[in-house]
Amino acid sequence: MMKVAAAATSLSLVAAAPYTPPTYTTPSNLTHPGLDILAKRAGLLYFGTAIDNVVLNNTAYVSIAHNVSEFGQATPSNGQKWMYIEPQQNVFNYSMADAIMKPAKEAGQMRRCHTFAWHSQLPDWVNNGNWTKETLTAVLENHIKNEAQYFKDDCYAWDVVNEAFEDDGSLRNSIWLQVMGPEYIELAFKWARQYTGNGTRLYYNDYGIERVNNKSLAVAEMAKDFIARDIPIDGVGLQAHFTVGRAPTYDEVSAALTLFDDLKLETALTELDVRILLPDSPEKQELQAEVYTNATKACVDVAECVGVTVWDFWDPVSWVPESFPGYGNACLLDDDLQRKPAYYAIEKMLDEVAKK
pLDDT at 32: 87
pLDDT at 259: 98
4 phi/psi in degrees, rounded to 5: -80, 115
pLDDT at 16: 32
Contact 278, 317 (CB under 8 A): no
Percentage with pLDDT > 90 across the chain? 90
Catalogue all structural domains in the chain, each as residue range(s) with its CATH number: 35-354 (3.20.20.80)
CA dihedral 180, 185, 190, 195 (to 10 degrees): 90
pLDDT at 1: 40
CB atoms within 10 A of CB 206: 23
pLDDT in tens, 290-334: 999 999 999 999 999 999 999 999 999 999 999 999 999 999 999
Catalytic residues: 163, 271
pLDDT at 96: 98
pLDDT in tens, 69-101: 999 999 999 999 999 999 999 999 999 999 999
pTM: 0.92
Contact 307, 39 (CB under 8 A): yes
pLDDT in tens, 20-42: 444 434 445 567 899 999 999 99
pLDDT in tens, 192-220: 999 998 899 999 999 999 999 999 999 99
Contact 250, 304 (CB under 8 A): no
Q: Is residue 285 over pLDDT 50? A: yes
Q: How, if at all, do strands 327-328 and 266-277 pair?
A: antiparallel
Q: How, if at all, do strands 201-206 and 235-238 pair?
A: parallel
pLDDT in tens, 102-137: 999 999 999 999 999 999 999 999 999 999 999 999
pLDDT at 29: 54
The Cα 184–Cα 260 span in angstroms is 22
The Cα 309–Cα 71 span in angstroms is 9
pLDDT at 31: 76
More confident residue, 203 or 16: 203
Q: Taken in order 106, 110, 116, 122, is the CA torsion positive or negative? A: negative
pLDDT in tens, 224-278: 999 999 999 999 999 999 999 999 999 999 999 999 999 999 999 999 999 999 9
More confident residue, 263 or 18: 263
Calculate Rg over the CA atoms of the chain. Answer: 19
pLDDT at 21: 40
pLDDT at 198: 86
pLDDT at 24: 39
pLDDT in tens, 126-184: 999 999 999 999 999 999 999 999 999 999 999 999 999 999 999 999 999 999 999 99
Q: Is residue 13 over pLDDT 90? A: no
